[in-house]
Amino acid sequence: MGSLGGESTLPWVKTPCVYNTAVSRAVGCNIYLKLDNLQPSGSFKSRGIGNLMTRAVAHHAGNVHFYCASGGNAGLACATSALALDRPCTVVVPVTTSEFMKKKLSALGARVQQVGKNLFAAEQYVRQELVARDPDGVFVPPFDHPDIWDGAASLIPELRDQMDVPMDAIVCSVGGGGLFNGLMQGIETFPWPAGPKPHVVGVETAGADSLHASLVANEHLTLPEITSIAVSLGCSRVSAQTWKWAHYPNTHSLVVSDADAAMACVRFADDARLLVEVSCGAALAAAYRGDLRASLGKGLSDAEWAEKNVVLIVCGGSGVSLQLLDRYVQEYGPHSAIQV
């Protein structure tokens, strides 16, 4: 896989950060793409989950067995990390999970069980029936753990090394908040050169906007249900640490529609020749729609805005195919502000 700072092999890799002319032209400023869709699991979750699992192996006396409840990106990150670490893992998926995903997990060597009508039920089964009965068992959460945030924070030193211009802002999608936490932790932890620290813009889809709803209500809320198609962002309550970071003055919270997130993926396939799932499309939609200019460029002239350097975290995701993008065009194209 990869190594950072001379450490032993890690189950995640250093990913490229590239300037993109087409997206920059659409946004009106300099847009750099941090391509974490190129992680071994296909998403940024390789960093956080990989870090948690690496540390568990280092500190566990026995032959650790990893357990994860996920029908998507977290499960894939657990399976690819377990393969890299040469440790067994069991991924429990809810009954709604597709045969395609189950086969994908099995092909990586994961033991796959299908239990529960939803992710909550699957997680309860993992905790109560599997981890509780296995002295070598380690539960792998999808986002809410300091080791996961530490792994996500590795994005910041990479960006510092890769960027030869100041970073004015970093944009990411927000589900439970693991990526957002890592970015904020990295910015606050690593020594920063002269000048202001970059802003961090967290983007959610309407119907999975637990952070934004909490900020509007000025209390840490739990959404009654998830109605967005961006299932990877479908966390009804962000982590307590996310709620704390969201009150820092350099943070921003934006919400986009499912239609715009979906069509952003289609537009991005044209602009960057990369396929990403709709949860990643949330951050891209904020760029394409002009939300970043409205949020970060208030009071700036066009010329001043054109000088800003913004990093979009391309977080990737497994829930995408050419057929799905074609369906998005038919279903959401007429209802989206994003033109392709």
142-175, pLDDT tens digit by residue?
Answer: 888 999 999 999 999 999 999 999 999 999 999 9
Condensed to tens digits (0 to 9), the pLDDT of residues 182-222 reads: 999 999 988 777 678 999 999 999 999 999 999 999 999 99
**Which pLDDT does position 100 carry in this prediction?**
82
**Which pLDDT does position 254 carry in this prediction?**
97
* Dihedral class, residue 264 (left if φ above 0, else alpha if ψ from -120 to 50, else beta): alpha
Residue 4: inside a domain? no
Residue 207: inside a domain? yes
- pLDDT: which is higher, 334 or 120: 334
Q: What is the mean pLDDT of the chain?
A: 91
Residue 242: inside a domain? yes
Same-domain status, 29 and 64: no
- pLDDT: which is higher, 294 or 234: 294
Closest Cα partner for 68 from 85, 90, 88?
90
Long-range (24+ apart) CB contacts under 8 A made by 61-65 are 62/135, 62/136, 63/87, 63/136, 64/136, 64/137, 64/138, 65/89, 65/90, 65/134, 65/136, 65/137, 65/138
- Residue 1, pLDDT above cutoff 50: no
Same-domain status, 106 and 229: no
- Grade residue 297 by pLDDT with cuts at 50, 70 and 90: confident
First-to-last C-alpha distance (Å) of the chain:
36
Q: Which of 139, 168, 203 is the last residue of a domain?
A: 139
Residue 157: inside a domain? yes
Query: Across residues 99-113, what is the average pLDDT?
Result: 89
Transcribe 265-334 into DSSP letters.
HHHHHHHHS----HHHHHHHHHHHHTHHHHHH-TT--HHHHHT-EEEEEE-B-SS--HHHHHHHHHHHGG
**Which pLDDT does position 91 carry in this prediction?**
94
- pLDDT: which is higher, 9 or 18: 18
Same-domain status, 199 and 79: no
Residue 87: inside a domain? yes
Q: Which of 122, 139, 156 is the last residue of a domain?
A: 139
Same-domain status, 132 and 255: no
Same-domain status, 167 and 283: yes
Same-domain status, 170 and 317: yes
d(CA 15, CA 39): 7
Supply the CATH number for residue 294's domain: 3.40.50.1100
44 neighbors 313 (Cβ within 8 angstroms): yes
Helix (H, G, I), strand (E, B) or coil at 184: helix
- Residue 109, pLDDT above cutoff 70: yes
d(CA 161, CA 26): 26
**Which pLDDT does position 98 carry in this prediction?**
79
Cα dihedral sign, 220-226-227-231: positive
Query: Across residues 253-257, what is the average pLDDT?
Result: 96
Helix (H, G, I), strand (E, B) or coil at 93: strand
Q: Which of 94, 124, 139 is the last residue of a domain?
A: 139
**Which pLDDT does position 92 carry in this prediction?**
93
Condensed to tens digits (0 to 9), the pLDDT of residues 116-141 reads: 887 788 889 999 999 999 999 999 99
**Which pLDDT does position 236 carry in this prediction?**
85
- Grade residue 6 by pLDDT with cuts at 50, 70 and 90: very low
> H or E element: which one contains 139?
strand 137-139
- Grade residue 4 by pLDDT with cuts at 50, 70 and 90: very low
- Grade residue 2 by pLDDT with cuts at 50, 70 and 90: very low
**Which pLDDT does position 3 carry in this prediction?**
38
Same-domain status, 55 and 180: no
Condensed to tens digits (0 to 9), the pLDDT of residues 54-104 reads: 999 998 877 899 999 987 889 999 999 999 999 999 999 888 787 888 888
Lowest-confidence range among 53-67, 248-262, 270-284? 53-67
- Grade residue 13 by pLDDT with cuts at 50, 70 and 90: very high
- Grade residue 252 by pLDDT with cuts at 50, 70 and 90: very high
* Dihedral class, residue 321 (left if φ above 0, else alpha if ψ from -120 to 50, else beta): beta
- Residue 179, pLDDT above cutoff 70: yes
**Which pLDDT does position 165 carry in this prediction?**
92
The share of the chain scoring above pLDDT 70, in percent, equals: 97
Same-domain status, 130 and 37: no
Residue 11: inside a domain? no
**Which pLDDT does position 43 carry in this prediction?**
93
Same-domain status, 163 and 241: yes
**Which pLDDT does position 231 carry in this prediction?**
79
- Grade residue 281 by pLDDT with cuts at 50, 70 and 90: very high
User: Number of structural domains, the chain?
Assistant: 2
Same-domain status, 328 and 313: yes
Same-domain status, 264 and 174: yes
Residue 279: inside a domain? yes
Residue 245: inside a domain? yes
Same-domain status, 27 and 85: no
- Quickly count: other Cβ atoms within 10 Å of residue 61's Cβ: 7
Residue 83 structural domain: 45-139
d(CA 201, CA 294): 12
